[in-house]
Amino acid sequence: MSDIRVRFAPSPTGHLHIGTARTALLNWLYARKTQGSFIVRIEDTDRSRSTIEFEESILEDLAWMGLNWDEGPDNGGPYGPYRQSERLGLYQHKVDELLHSGQAYRCYCTPKELEERRKTRLATGLMPKYEGTCRNLTAEQESECAAQGRKPAIRFRVPDEKIIVRDLVRGEIEFSSDVIGDFIILRSDGTPSFHLAVVVDDGEMKITHVIRGEDHITNTAKHVPLIKALGYPVPKFAHNAMILGPDGGKLSKRHGATAVGDYRAKGYLPESINNYLALLSWAPEDTREVFELDELAKMFKIERISKSPAIFDIGKLNWLNGQHIRSADLQRLTNLCIPYLKEAGLIPQGGVSKSEFEYLLKVVEAVRGNLTVLSEIPAYATIFLGEYEIRPDALEWLRKPHVPEVLTALLELLRRHGELDFDGGREVVNALRDKFKPLGVTGKDLFMPIRVGLTGAVKGPELPYVLNILDKEQAIRRIEAAIQAAIQAAG
C-alpha cells in the first residue's frame, strides 16, 4: 500500500446527494488506482441537523456503490476517532496553540453587529468580510468585553500575503488575503468551524490529496494559510466541476431525484451510478462508455478530471443502466427484481420456492432487454406472472382477416411439439414465417397477432423467449382464447 491518503467527509445532515457521491467516487478511484487509503470521516459538528440515521444512510449508500473504505467510523483505524464530534478536545488544543503564537485572537463581536457591518459593506459595493474589529484588542479591552457578558469566538489571523492554491485540475490559483478576512475557527459555544475541523483532521490523519468540488475553492484559500500555521504539510488539491441540471442551474430536486437512495429505490444498479458519475467528471483515454468499477479504478487519472461543469443527463444514465442490466449476473438480477414483483402482487410476499425462482430466472432473462430500470419489471413480467388478458390496444391486431388462420396454424404447431426451449420456440416462429410468406403475410402482420395471442400485449420479449417460458398447455389455452377473441372482433 502506498502513502497516498484521501478522504470523503460527508455531513450527516441529509441523505447522500448524487453530487457528493461523485466526490466519494473520485476519491475512491484515486485511492484504488494508487494503492492508497480511502478514509471516511463524518463531519457532525452541526449538532442541530446531524443525525445518526443520516450517517447510517450515507454509509449504507457508499457500501451499496461498492466504495469500501479502509478507515472510518465503523471500522476504526490508526487516526481515529472518525467523527468530528468525538475530536473536540483536539480542536481546542490546536486553537490554544494558535492563540499562544498570536496567529489567532478572540473576537467579541455579536452576530447582530456582524450582520449590520455585512449589510453596510454590501450597500457600498464592497465584498462582505470581517474588518478586523477585534484584531488588536488590548487585555483591558478584552476584560471589558468579558465583563459585558460577551462570549468570544476565535478568529484566525490571516497573514498579509498572497495565497497560492496549486490545483491538480486547474493549475495555480492566486488569492489576495485582503478579500478573505480573518475567519472564525472556534465558535462562541466552543464548537469548531468547518475550516478548523477539516484542516486539523486532514493534518492529523495525514491526508495527502484533497479531491472535492469547485465550490470549495474559496475555502481552500482559507485553509492553506491555516494548514501552514498549524505546521501541517499542505496536501495536493483537486477541485472537480459542479454537476448542473439540464437547465444549467445547480442540480436540485426540481430536476428530479438527487439522492443516491432514490436512484437505488427506482432500480438503478450501483455499477450504472458509478459508471455515469465517473463519466460526468472524467474522460477515459479511449472511446468506451460502459465500465465496471474495477475497470474505472485501473484507468483513472486525476489529471483527466474535467474543469467544465457537467450537465446531468437522465437519458444517458438510463442508457447506461440498461447496458448494465443486460450484462448483469442473471441470478443477482433476479433477486434484485423480486421486491418490485412482490410490491406489484405478482409473486407472494413470503417469497418463492426453488422451482418458482427457476421460472423467474427465465422471465428476467427474457425481459431484461426491455428494462431501463428494475422498477419496470412488473410491466413486462405480468404477461408471464399475471392473469392472461388481451389489452385494448392489442385487440386491434386481432381484427385483421388473416389472424384466425395464423393463430390456428400456431395452435397446430404447439399441439405437435412438446415443451419448447428457446431454439424450439425459434423453430416454431420460423415455420410460421415460411408458411405465410407466400401468402403475403409477413412482418408485423404475422408476428403481432402471434405476440398478442401469447401475451395479450403488443410489447414484450422476443417470441422464442415467450414460447420457452410459457408451458405448452398455458400457451395453447391462450391461443384458443385469442382465436375466439379474433372471431368476435371480426364479427
Q: Residue 236: how many CB atoms within 10 A of its CB?
A: 16
Asked whether residue 124 falls in the same domain as residue 236, the answer is yes
What pLDDT, on the 0 to 100 scale, is given for residue 43?
Answer: 96
What pLDDT, on the 0 to 100 scale, is given for residue 256?
Answer: 67
- The region that residue 61 occupies, defined by phi over 0 for left and psi between -120 and 50 for alpha, beta otherwise, is alpha
Whole-angstrom distance, CA of residue 12 vs CA of residue 88: 17
Q: Single out the residue of 74, 14, 11, 16 nearest to residue 44, CA to CA.
A: 11
Whole-angstrom distance, CA of residue 269 vs CA of residue 293: 12
Please check whether residue 318 lies inside any domain of the structure: no
Kindly state the cell numbers that stand for 383: 404477461
**HEC secondary structure over the chain:** CCCCEEEECCCCCCCCEHHHHHHHHHHHHHHHHCCCEEEECECCCCCCCCCHHHHHHHHHHHHHHCCCCCEECCCECCCCCCEHHHCHHHHHHHHHHHHHHCCEEEECCCHHHHHHHHHHHHHCCCCCCCCCCCCCCCHHHHHHHHHCCCCCEEEECCCCCEEEEEECCCEEEEEEHHHCCCCEEECCCCCECHHHHHHHHHHHCCCCEEEEEHHHHHHHHHHHHHHHHCCCCCCEEEEECCEECCCCCECCHHHCCCEHHHHHHHCCCHHHHHHHHHHHHECCCCCCCCCCHHHHHHHCCHHHECCCCEECCHHHHHHHHHHHHHHCCHHHHHHHHHHHHHHCCCCCCCCCCHHHHHHHHHHHHHHHHHCCCHHHHHHHHHHHHCCCCCCHHHHHHHHCCCHHHHHHHHHHHHHHCCCCCHHHHHHHHHHHHHHHHHHCCCCHHHHHHHHHHHHCCCCCCCHHHHHHHCCHHHHHHHHHHHHHHHHHHHC
CB 74 within 8 A of CB 42: no
Choose one of 196, 212, 240: the last residue of a domain: 240
Mean pLDDT of 279-298: 91
What pLDDT, on the 0 to 100 scale, is given for residue 157?
Answer: 97
Asked whether residue 102 falls in the same domain as residue 198, the answer is yes
CB 142 within 8 A of CB 211: no
Please check whether residue 196 lies inside any domain of the structure: yes
Please, which pLDDT band fits residue 179 given cuts at 50, 70 and 90?
A: confident
Instruction: Please provide the average confidence, as pLDDT, over all residues in the chain.
Output: 94
Mean pLDDT of 101-109: 97
Q: Identify the bridge partners of residue 238 per DSSP, sorted by sequence position.
A: 211
What pLDDT, on the 0 to 100 scale, is given for residue 284?
Answer: 86
pLDDT digits (tens, 9 = 90+) for 44-93: 988 889 999 999 999 999 999 999 999 999 999 999 999 999 999 999 99
The CATH number for 103's domain is: 3.40.50.620
Give the structural domain span for 164. Answer: 87-240
Please check whether residue 425 lies inside any domain of the structure: yes
What pLDDT, on the 0 to 100 scale, is given for residue 26?
Answer: 97
Kindly state the cell numbers that stand for 365: 432473462
Whole-angstrom distance, CA of residue 242 vs CA of residue 226: 25
Kindly state the cell numbers that stand for 16: 447522500
Whole-angstrom distance, CA of residue 111 vs CA of residue 431: 84
Asked whether residue 101 falls in the same domain as residue 217, the answer is yes
Task: Count structural domains, the chain.
Answer: 4
pLDDT digits (tens, 9 = 90+) for 232-271: 999 999 999 999 988 888 887 776 668 999 999 999 999 9
Cβ neighbours for 94, distance < 8 A, ≥ 6 positions apart:
196, 200, 230
Q: Is the pLDDT of residue 301 over 70?
A: yes
Asked whether residue 12 falls in the same domain as residue 79, the answer is yes
Choose one of 187, 207, 240: the last residue of a domain: 240
Q: Single out the residue of 223, 186, 170 nearest to residue 9, CA to CA.
A: 223
The CA–CA distances, whole Å, from 411 to 34, 50, 62, 112, 381 equal: 63, 65, 53, 85, 23
Q: Identify the bridge partners of residue 39 per DSSP, sorted by sequence position.
A: 7, 71
Asked whether residue 92 falls in the same domain as residue 79, the answer is no
pLDDT digits (tens, 9 = 90+) for 385-438: 999 999 999 999 999 889 999 999 999 999 999 899 999 999 999 999 999 999
Please check whether residue 336 lies inside any domain of the structure: yes
Q: Is the pLDDT of residue 142 over 90?
A: yes
Please check whether residue 319 lies inside any domain of the structure: no
Mean pLDDT of 119-136: 90
Asked whether residue 336 falls in the same domain as residue 397, the answer is no
Asked whether residue 102 falls in the same domain as residue 230, the answer is yes
Q: Residue 231: how many CB atoms within 10 A of its CB?
A: 9
Please check whether residue 349 lies inside any domain of the structure: yes
Model-level pTM? 0.92
Whole-angstrom distance, CA of residue 95 vs CA of residue 100: 9
Please, which pLDDT band fits residue 125 given cuts at 50, 70 and 90?
A: confident
Asked whether residue 169 falls in the same domain as residue 30, the answer is no
Cβ neighbours for 344, distance < 8 A, ≥ 6 positions apart:
378, 382
The CATH number for 475's domain is: 1.10.10.350
Please check whether residue 283 lies inside any domain of the structure: yes
Asked whether residue 197 falls in the same domain as residue 108, the answer is yes
Annotated binding site for ATP: 253
Choose one of 216, 240, 264: the last residue of a domain: 240
| Helices 18-33/52-65 angle, 10° precision | 50
Asked whether residue 272 falls in the same domain as residue 147, the answer is no
Asked whether residue 116 falls in the same domain as residue 225, the answer is yes
What pLDDT, on the 0 to 100 scale, is given for residue 491?
Answer: 65
Q: Which residues are catalytic?
A: 253
Asked whether residue 236 falls in the same domain as residue 252, the answer is no
Please check whether residue 124 lies inside any domain of the structure: yes
CB 186 within 8 A of CB 95: yes
What pLDDT, on the 0 to 100 scale, is given for residue 257?
Answer: 66
The CATH number for 371's domain is: 1.10.8
Q: Is the pLDDT of residue 280 over 80?
A: yes
